[in-house]
Amino acid sequence: MQTNIIDDIGAAIGTAATLRLLALFGGTRLYVPEHIGADHPIALALGLAPARLLAEHFGREQLDLPDGEDFHRLRRVRCVAGLLRGGAAQRDVAMMVGISTKQVGRYRAEAEGLGLLPLVFEGKGE
């Protein structure tokens, strides 16, 4: 089992390259060859220097890369919190973000738990 694979990759190739790797290959099992040339898909995605660092640290391994859904969900939570803080009604937030009003309520509760919104929030359209 791969533990802290994102941390390990980040330590090897840097944060920006790791985020790009996850954005492009997340949710897949990625085989990292021992040697990566300039025309390899990983090099084309990350740039040659980070791709070679990846090969140096993880060559001949298969990496199960997470799909990043948690990252995207938290971005939606942040977006919903910002709209609510700005005074948008829950039903308007649902339409703007493309989710149900019930999901807005769930995201709002999560945002409160994360400290993105006060626990007692007086918004419009409740």
Interval 64-122: pLDDT, tens:
999 888 888 999 999 999 999 999 999 999 999 999 999 999 999 999 999 999 875 55
Q: Which two tokens stand for residue 13?
A: 């190739």
Please state the rounded mean pLDDT for residues 13-33: 95
At 1 the pLDDT is 38
User: Is a pLDDT exceeding 70 seen at residue 126?
Assistant: no
**Banded pLDDT at 123 (limits 50, 70, 90):** low
At 3 the pLDDT is 52
Burial of 10 (0-12, 13-18, 19+ CB in 10 A): middle
Work out the percent of the chain whose per-residue pLDDT is above 70. Answer: 92
